[in-house]
Amino acid sequence: MSAIEELTAELAKLPGIGRKTATRLTYHLLKQPTAVVTRLARTIETVVERVRACTVCGNLGEADPCAICTDERRDGGLICVVEEASDIGAIERSGEFRGRYHVLGGRLSPLDGVGPDDLRIAALQARLGDGTAVREVILATNPSMEGEVTATYLRGVLEAPGVRVTRIALGLPMGGELEYADGVTIARALAARREMGVG
């Protein structure tokens, strides 16, 4: 396989990138100055070398614990539970949240074989009971069927004395993805969060 075919094949493995887009990207890169392309390659290598998951919250970053977990100005009594680390960036851009996070690493999905043991739920329960005085857990899983099921499941298993469990308001359109929502929508949904009953 030639270098051009090889790169096209590698790019076509990325999500949302088909064969035609991969071809277009390859030839685009070949038209760029070498320095530009080398920088892209180095940046890709750097990201996997430097970025790791925070052992406390599961956020991806260059420190462990992550910059959010060690930020003393943030409210450790408030934990926002998200499906993926990429959701944290979306919530941070809203500028409305000053607590900390917990990344589940996915959502309950029986069809895909994802059950409670595949998510970082035990680690979340441990954080509630570790004496750091968590007052509230905000469930910010996606406003999708699976995200709702996951939130309902979590509501049932997150029983800890003195801890409120709330659900981010579904101002987000059903079926949408939190990661791609705009800051204003996320800010509103956070402000309108409501206490969840056990069902």
Residue with Cβ nearer a second copy (4 or 133): 4
Tell me how long the chain is. Answer: 199
Q: How far is the CB of 197 from a second copy (least distance, A)?
A: 33
Residues that bind a second copy (CB under 8 A): 2-4, 6-7, 10-11, 14-16, 20-21, 23-30, 34, 37-48, 50-51, 60-62, 84-86, 89, 179-180
Query: Which H or E run includes 23?
Result: helix 19-31
| Assigned token pair, 123 | 């680690």
Q: How far is the CB of 8 from a second copy (least distance, A)?
A: 9
Q: How far is the CB of 162 from a second copy (least distance, A)?
A: 34
Neighbours of 103 (CB within 10 A): 25
Q: How far is the CB of 21 from a second copy (least distance, A)?
A: 7
Residue with Cβ nearer a second copy (14 or 192): 14
As separate numbers, helices (DSSP H) first and strands (DSSP E) second, the chain gives 7, 7
C-alpha count within 13 angstroms, C-beta hemisphere, residue 50: 9
Residue with Cβ nearer a second copy (18 or 116): 18
**Adjacent-strand bridge partners of 166:** 138, 195
Residue with Cβ nearer a second copy (48 or 111): 48
Residue with Cβ nearer a second copy (38 or 70): 38
> DSSP secondary structure string, 173-199?
PTT--GGGS-HHHHHHHHHT-EEPP--
CA 44 to chain centre: 20
| CB distance 101 to 75 below 8 Å | no
Residue with Cβ nearer a second copy (29 or 123): 29
Q: How far is the CB of 34 from a second copy (least distance, A)?
A: 5
Q: Find tokens 């999500």 and name the residue.
A: 15
Q: How far is the CB of 154 from a second copy (least distance, A)?
A: 22
